[in-house]
Amino acid sequence: MSQATALGKARYTFGGDEHVFVEISESMSLPAFFKGMAICNELRGREIQGVTEICPANASYQVRFDPDIISPDQMMRSLQDIEVSIGNAEMELQTRIVEVPVLYNDPWTHETLMRFRERHQDPQSTDLEYAARVNGFQTVNEFIHAHSSSPWFVSMVGFVAGLPFLFQMVEQQRQLEVPKYLSPRTDTPKLTLGHGGCFSCIYSVRGAGGYQMFGVTPAPIFDPAQSLPYLKDMMVFFKPGDIVKWKPIDRAEYDRITHEVVAGTYQLPMHSVTFSLRAFLVNPDSYNQELLQVLHGN
């Protein structure tokens, strides 16, 4: 039995007159994500008249349609037909693996988190110290190693423009989990690496937020001016299905990259790759090492 089939039948509901919401699974998993992506890709390929928007998410997707062109019942039947047709499909994805530099324990998120300690579960520790403790690590450095040593999957993009949600590519029992703040902050530095529940994210712009703050990246991921080489095609960098490897850097490296960003010359390291869900599920650690070898050209 395929991993997609093992998930069971999706749940379909209407959202007003113009939307169908489809829940693949009640919890996030790579099989649930892949099934949703496969359905969305097939729907896009069929070019059904009346479909105006397709929005994949972590373990679900939503379709917007014009009810004057296709009726709600017909739209739902089309989606159910697609689910049946891809049930036993081989779950492979043509995507890219990207190395994102991160200055963990940086001064800017530290200053911010100290301003909002009354909203935190543990006002006496930093976000990294708290995350390390609740995940059973003795030191912050051990936690950072666990956070940065395995790749992460971009499962959806949203909340604010260009913000990616990322799911750690390890067995469920090894996934890092940290609760969000007790109440959201009114400030989060731009390009903060955050974490809430089992999801990591990068805050693409400065603003409110409730995820724990672990560090910052000097690499812009949303730029309406499209001034950097990797943003020339689209002002939003990340897409669902991208694979991300965090690269811990020091302050000197952060400053060097920042100068390249200002000069408009910085390029994020990335490579095209074919990701096989079946091969990953057989041996996640071994498959992750193969992915990282592609990233570094080995």
pTM of the model: 0.89
Q: So what's the pLDDT on residue 90?
A: 63
Tell me the torsion sign for CA atoms 243, 245, 246, 249.
negative
Q: Check whether 2 has a pLDDT greater than 60.
A: no
Give pLDDT tens digits for 26-82: 888 888 888 888 899 899 999 999 999 998 888 899 999 999 999 999 999 999 999
**Can you give the residue range of the structural domain that contains 73?**
3-89
Q: Check whether 230 has a pLDDT greater than 90.
A: yes
The verdict on 117 and 158 lying in the same domain is yes
The verdict on 249 and 105 lying in the same domain is yes
Q: How many domains does the chain have?
A: 2
Last residue of a domain, one of 89, 106, 137: 89
The verdict on 242 and 125 lying in the same domain is yes
The verdict on 57 and 193 lying in the same domain is no
> What integer best gives the mean pLDDT of the chain?
93
